Structure 1
Amino acid sequence: MKISKYVVTSSFKDFLPEPGDFELRNEKYPPKLKNGEFLVKAEYISTDPYMRSFANKRIAPYEQFGFQVGKVIETTNPEYPTAMTVVSHSGWRDYSVLNGDPDPIFGIKPYDPQIGELPMSLALGALGMPGMTAYLGLLNICQPKAGEVVCVSSAAGAVGSIAGQIAKLKGCVVIGFAGTDEKVRILTEELGFDYGFNYKTIKNVKDSVLSVCSGIDCYFDNVGGDLSVGVMECMKNQGRVAVCGSTSSYGNPSLMKMPKIPFTVKVQGFSFTQWSWQEQKAAIQQIKEWIDNGSIKVKESVTNGFEELPNAFIAMLRGDMVGKVVVKL
């Protein structure tokens, strides 16, 4: 048996990779696991915007990194018994030989997501890194209070859709920006956002924001660029901005721009890894409780087939998908 994996053979020239930048390769299946090792068969593999950002720091060829969730099918490690569900940062490969050590990028050990009867794919989205990011970034950096106005960019994405719903649970007025009219409809009609705007069709971001409120208290920023400049120019005194990502400038840092904001506004970048594993687990447990009781709705786009990973990744970056984008093997 052979293990299949994707290797990035050509550094991404622009924001969107090309399918030809990825090559499907095989490696030999280990004849025998070493003491402490275990073999995981992937069932879902994640695509995320950070993969494009982190690519700028790497020189091809390199194995495509990323989160996946699967089942242990062979083991010599008592902490990871056969049939255990495991989330790991093992990359785009159908089988992974692991030993329980933290991954070199995020420092996370393979773990059981304990998602119960919920779909396994959620372990890569609302009950995984995106959910942790939304929960920890919004509540610890923005610290929204009931009655405040919270704005979320890329609001129909894996992180933004959860962040916006958490803000609603905290009693806030929530504004979301997305890239299609259908995504805006989903925000306001399905996810409970108070207002939604298609940033591609509105004439002016600042005018749009101020048409529905007197200013922004909290901004959960996933995109940077002109959109974020417009939003941040609506910030109130003592406002808080959590900078989760800057997808508009991935592949072209010259597009990063600075807005004019009140001196009292706090702007802070963050990564979910700055919080402890105990805090990350607590975030997942709370989101699971909200999903179980219907307080949070999860949107995901599932593509079938290992061979579709590059196309799903590109489509996610292009904004073709709603919610968390995963590939089912």
Structure 2
Amino acid sequence: MLDTYLMITVIFLTLCFDFINGFHDTANAIATCVATRAIRPELAVAGTCLLNFIGALVFTGVAQTIGNNIVISAAVINEVIIIAGLLGAIFWDLAMWYLNTPSSSSYALIGSLIGAVFISVGLPVLNISGIILIIVSLIVSPFIAMVISYISMNYIIYLCRNYKPSKVNKLANRLQIISAAFMAFAHGSNDAQKSMGIITLALVSNNIIKTLEVPIIIKIVCAAVLALGTGIGGWKIMHMVGNKIFKMHPIHGFSADLNSAVVILGATLLSLPVSTTHVVSGTIIGIGMAERIKAIHWNVAKNILTDTLITLPCTCMLGAVFYVVIRYIFTTILPFYLLVKG
């Protein structure tokens, strides 16, 4: 009976994380098109909901990476470890959202799970090579986005050199609807899979299913919850990502959406998790560098970089702390309560 309750708790918390990820990362998926006023916020959120849902249903490679690359085998962990990891990630995401700070849900989830696994069953159980692959993907992807956006923005500037800025921005406004849709699809294709991977890992560890192939019902539920979270929206963070790093115009928004989507979808096709927050931020910095380096608000960029550096170690500690607390509840407080009640 306890195992059933724990499994239900894992699923519930994973969907909570998925929901929070949706409203937390909505800002990243649509910040640029709203910042440039290419699309009204309400329409942008509605469209992003739909395309997030579709994107989440199409791919499962990232989910399998999450399931395979953190621990050497699903059999070596249990629901309590996963619950601790989820609580750490949720706590961090909510704290960063409250502080109006763009933060990576991916870093938070990976870090918290690593901390919970390490404190509970030790270092040998961690899949070090798999974790390194995930972390490298998370770290390198924003820099790839920055380089690609810098090159592409320079090319766009060259192509548009003989046209009036007003005409260029008018065309870019229309094109950004397409690029924003592409970005929303890419966002769903990568982010929802992390939650799918956690639930599937828990199901395998309990011998409910035999492989890390994501069941269709898990795909649908995770996709729907991410879309629901997207509908709620992360309006506070949207302003920071969209305009505080660099003052955006429609041509910049089009380039940012397109380049971010290419990087994120490319990672999805390679079954690698990336941080939407940091990819979008890297893209915007690259575009700003192409226009004028001094135009970038480097203090904001520095804050995002600082977040990148502290999220993983902080969430590792959070995951470990939550595991210790949960274990204490189950081994000390709960037995004592049952003894007194009995």
TM-score by length of 1: 0.24
Bigger fraction of residues in helix: 2
Bigger fraction of residues in strand: 1
TM-score by length of 2: 0.23
Bigger relative contact order, structure 1 or 2, given CA contacts below 8 A and separation 6+?
2
